[in-house]
Structure 1
């Protein structure tokens, strides 16, 4: 189990490297496309698609498994290591294929998110500046509202003694009603 985990992590790193390498240039894929397809079916010059770069799931799986299978067959026949003779070899083969596939998707996510961040960086700064300015305005409004509320409360407190002086006492009101 330990060696499979190491193989899986190495395969993820290999998948990231494979995707990153193909995102910088797809010369091998373009050459193979020219060799296999007729002039009408060849990909355009501005198409960035590669074996794993900008490829859908099924062609990506086919390429990764074929690549790992060819590498395993080369190791099988040129070295004394028997890849397909035991469960451990087949398990390592499967771990490497799945890890490479995961690595390509991780690299795809990283490259896509970095492109989005670069595209949005200017607008994010503008939005952040707008938010800071609105926050400052809001705090100023709160301070002014608090000051207005305090001033109104002071006026009410100042006016209360005048109202009480103008009001009659309870005894005087009872006398006015004739109850006393």
Structure 2
């Protein structure tokens, strides 16, 4: 159990280092992409995707598992010990956790740059301005002064029949 915890912690550090390395340069992924794809389907020069970096969960899991399966096969033939399965599962899970920890830190570093914060602030100001303009327009249209009429005492006999609530809602366009 202790060895599994040590392997898990070391694999988290390995996952962080692997993700950081691929975020800096994806030369191996680019080379394999060049070998396996024709010219039309090859990666663009500005694409930063790697085996781990910018990959969805399943592809990241496949590449990490493939890496550890190759390592397990090499160790299986190099040493006489046969009890590596639980260690490799621990290493795969730890590496996946490490890659997501590293991506969270790299994402946080990129999202706190001054230009990004200024862009978000300007976008927020525009949204607030648009919202306040919409609110002002609706209140201004509702607050039009009503024409002043002199109130005269009305006789009950002279009262004209008022519109029903349904007719008033139809006039306002609230119901059809």
TM-score by length of 1: 0.62
User: Deviations along 1:46-87, whole A, 9 cap, x unmatched?
Assistant: 0000000001111100000000110111111122332xxx3x
Please report how far the alpha carbon of residue 90 of structure 1 lies from its aligned counterpart in structure 2 after TM superposition. 1.1
CA distance in 2, matches of 1:92, 1:120: 44
Aligned to 1:72: 72
CA distance in 1, matches of 2:41, 2:97: 30
CA distance in 2, matches of 1:13, 1:53: 16
Residue 93 to residue 122, structure 1, CA distance change in 2 (3 Å): closer
Asked whether 1:114 is paired with 2:109, we answer yes
Aligned to 1:50: 50
The structure with more radius of gyration: 1
Other structure's SS at 1:80 match: coil
RMSD between aligned alpha carbons?
Answer: 1.7
Please report how far the alpha carbon of residue 118 of structure 1 lies from its aligned counterpart in structure 2 after TM superposition. 2.3
Which blocks of at least 5 consecutive residues in structure 2 are unaligned?
A: 122-176
Other structure's SS at 1:111 match: helix
Off by >3 Å, runs of 4+ in structure 1: 119-123
TM-score by length of 2: 0.64
Which of 92, 95, 118 is the aligned partner of 2:90?
Answer: 95
Aligned to 2:4: 4
